[in-house]
Amino acid sequence: MFKEKAIPAILIFAAVLVLTGGVSLAPRGVSGPSSDLDLASEACTVIMVGREASTDGSVMSTHAADCGVCDFTWRHVPAADHKPAEKRRLYNIDQVRTWPPSEGGKWAMVLKDPTTVEIPEAPHTYGYHHAVFGYMNDQQLAIAESTIGNVRKLSNPTPTPATNITMLTLLAMERCRTAREAIKLMGSLAEEYGYGYHDGGEMLAVSDPKEIWAFEIMPVGPLWTPKSGKPGAVWAAQRVPDDHVAVCTNESVIGEIDPGNPDVFMASAHAESFAVEAGLYDPKGGKPFSWKKAYSPTDGSAMSTGGRRSRTWRFFDLVAPSKKFKPETPNMDFPFSVQPDAKLSAKDVMALTRDKSEGTVFDPVRGLRGGPFKNPNYYKGTRLISVSNVEYTTLTQCRSWLPDPIGGIVWVALGPQDTSCYVPFYAGATDIPKSFSVGDHFVLDRGSARWAFDYVDFHTQVAYNAAIEDVQAARQKWEGGALDRIAEIDALAGDLYKRNPREAVKYVTGFSLNNAQNVVDAWWKLGDDLWVKYNHLGLYDAEKRRGGRIPTANPEWWNKAVRAFDVLSEPEK
């Protein structure tokens, strides 16, 4: 047994910095996050792109389902016609809870937890793709989600409300063609039947081929009942200007609202009066009503929270560097949206979802953070746009110049963005591969697409800065190849659609399914190849049947840091 020398941690820290080139591991003047920040709720990043802010006229949105234990399976719900007397049952759906595959998985168990509410069924419901939420239907309606929270007194954890955010997105997918229709439907249903139980404040990016809106909804407290005669939810929505981009990083983004300008704002009739009633806003205070400051205020900036709330600043700094946004700016003071310095392509937006704050003070591989292989997933002290616990990421494209089944695309990247590959599914596709519809975090399943991507991710982490180059090469082939082919697929499908819409739907379905399966197969093989190539932290060349050393392994700066720490922690004699 030995006892380490009682050396102050700050001296160890300083010694290591000297030996690693004097690189600071934390921004200056940063204190720990304030106690009122609910960091556990920081779970999803949503990017919104207006049609005139994109290179091709697409309206785009992204959703990163950052959870780590949530369901990651995908489903396709076909379009259907219904009889006049049919009813639609509403279900309690918990975003986070899952069940073992042996019990049928999440979506089988959801059907065993209905609410007491049935609403009239629509004569026709649209086909759509969904996972935790509804993402795109065959009319090019698209949705992306981010939890934003609410002031505590508004929470309603009782089972009295019959709507939740997942249920609302599914109903919008079934019944709506445009973003405005979807917002009005979700808002009205939540007001009538109550909103809450498993969910609190939520933001949805709701888009169609013409526009994109940020829709935010809040519960109204635990005492609400349908018999109260009062609305069971409060909500507001703001349209992103066509030539702007916006972001939601688990923080409310809607500020002052003007219901008298319906081309930019929509809101429940009691959006302001309820805030007054609940003591969240005093109209006599001399300040205009701000939705986010009343219902979901947050404190802190990228700097003041040590990078835990840096995603908002990082996004604006990436898309509009000319505006020189500062990380010291309180997040509540950032604009709702901004005109980007350059228009964004789908590839650009994919890159944004993979951003890890490289080169900034919040870089997760600065100094010792990333270890000898510069792994950005080790250090958890800052919150990045791209994180390792993501279930999947979506990128939706709504394109006005094509028929709806062809114009809409939802790109899906299963697992962490940095080791995954975006796979396109057309809005008109009538099926999802079986491998995308099965799987569970706690049961290895080689028939599950998600496990193929986890397989690659696991083997990449071992020698990250070397293995990630192999992943990027595979991604260029498959993701880049799909991006390059989309124009050709669009044209062929468009010609078919003019002659026979059903054949066009079959064509985009076939492309979507075949491409997805090819990518999944490629990722299983990539995982095998990484395992062999970097086995034992060596470098195995299968073609030359020769072993060697990973060029990026065991860097001298790492050895210096280890020796410095060894000296400082020598046992007393």
- Residue 3 within any structural domain of the chain: no
d(CA 249, CA 305): 14
**Residue 366 main-chain phi, psi, to 5 deg:** -65, 140
Task: Look up residue 28 and give its two tokens.
Answer: 């200056």
Looking at the fold, whether 248 and 351 belong to one and the same domain comes out as yes
Three-state helix/strand/coil letters over 256-318: ECCCCCCCCEEECCCHHHHHHHCCCCCHHHCCCCEHHHHHCCCCCECCCCCCCCCHHHHHHHH
Residues 403 and 547 in one domain: no
354 contact partners, CB below 8 Å, separation of at least 6: 385, 386, 417, 418
Give the rounded distance of the alpha carbon of 124 from its chain centre. Answer: 30
What is the token pair recorded at 190? 């939540």
**Residues in a beta bridge with 390:** 66
Continuous H helices in 138-279: 165-175, 179-193, 271-277
Shared-domain flag, residues 555 and 513:
no
Inter-residue contact 134 to 169 (CB < 8 Å): yes
Domain membership flag for residue 272: yes
Query: C-alpha distances in angstroms, 496 versus 139, 405, 484, 485, 560?
Result: 18, 12, 20, 17, 64
Q: Tokens 């299968």 label which residue?
A: 542
pLDDT at 18: 37
Closest of 10, 8, 2, 21 to residue 366, by C-alpha: 21
Residue 22 sits in which domain range?
9-29+538-568
Please tell me the distance from the alpha carbon of residue 216 to that of residue 271, in angstroms, as a whole number: 11
For the chain, which residues score pLDDT lower than 70?
1-42, 572-573
Burial grade of 58 (CB within 10 A; 0-12, 13-18, 19 or more): buried
Query: Is 1 part of a structural domain of the chain?
Result: no
Give a yes or no: residue 463 inside a domain: yes
Do residue 555 and residue 512 come from a single domain?
no
pLDDT of residue 568: 79
- Residue identified by tokens 């259907």 is 80
> Cα-flanking dihedrals φ and ψ of residue 394, to 5°?
-115, 150
Query: What is the rounded distance in angstroms from the CA atom of residue 462 to the CA atom of residue 168?
Result: 41
* Residues 23 and 51 grouped into a single domain: no
Count the domains in the chain. Answer: 2
Spatial distance between the Cα atoms of 397 and 51, rounded to a whole number of angstroms: 10
Distance CA 217, CA 190 (A): 9
Burial 262-295 (b: 16+ CB within 10 A, else e): eeebbbbebbbebbeebebbeeeeeeebbbbbbb
The C-alpha atoms of residue 441 and residue 69 are separated, in whole angstroms, by 7
Whether residues 297 and 238 fall in one domain: yes
Residue 138 is assigned to a structural domain of this protein:
yes
Does residue 34 fall inside a structural domain? no
**For residue 344, what is the DSSP state?**
B
CB atoms within 10 A of CB 441: 16
Helix (H) or strand (E) holding 518: helix 501-533
346 and 435 part of one domain: yes
**Residue 4 maps to a domain:** no
pLDDT value at position 43? 74
Distance (Å, whole) CA 6 – CA 220? 54
**Are residue 17 and residue 160 in the same domain, yes or no?**
no
Residues 6+ apart with CB under 8 A from 7: 568, 569
**In terms of domains, do 265 and 394 share one?**
yes
Q: How far apart are CA 435 and CA 450, in angstroms?
A: 8
Residues 428 and 550 in one domain: no
**Token output for 94:** 């918990």
State which H helix or E strand residue 65 sits in. Answer: strand 59-66
With both helix axes pointing from N to C terminus, report the angle between 311-319 and 346-353 in degrees, rounded to the nearest 10.
150
275 and 377 share one domain: yes
In a domain, 162, yes or no: yes
Strand partners, 540: 547
Q: With left for phi above 0 and alpha for psi between -120 and 50, is residue 211 left, alpha or beta?
A: beta
Termini Cα distance of the chain: 11
Angstrom distances, CA of residue 552 to CA of 250, 364, 486: 36, 18, 37
CA 57, distance to chain mean position in Å, is: 22
- Are 186 and 295 in a shared domain? yes
Alpha-carbon distance values, 544 to 126, 252, 481 (Å): 55, 56, 29
- Ordered alpha helix ranges (H), 94-233: 105-110, 165-175, 179-193
Contact 401, 57 (CB under 8 A): yes
pTM of this prediction exceeds 0.95: no
State residue 483's pLDDT score.
98
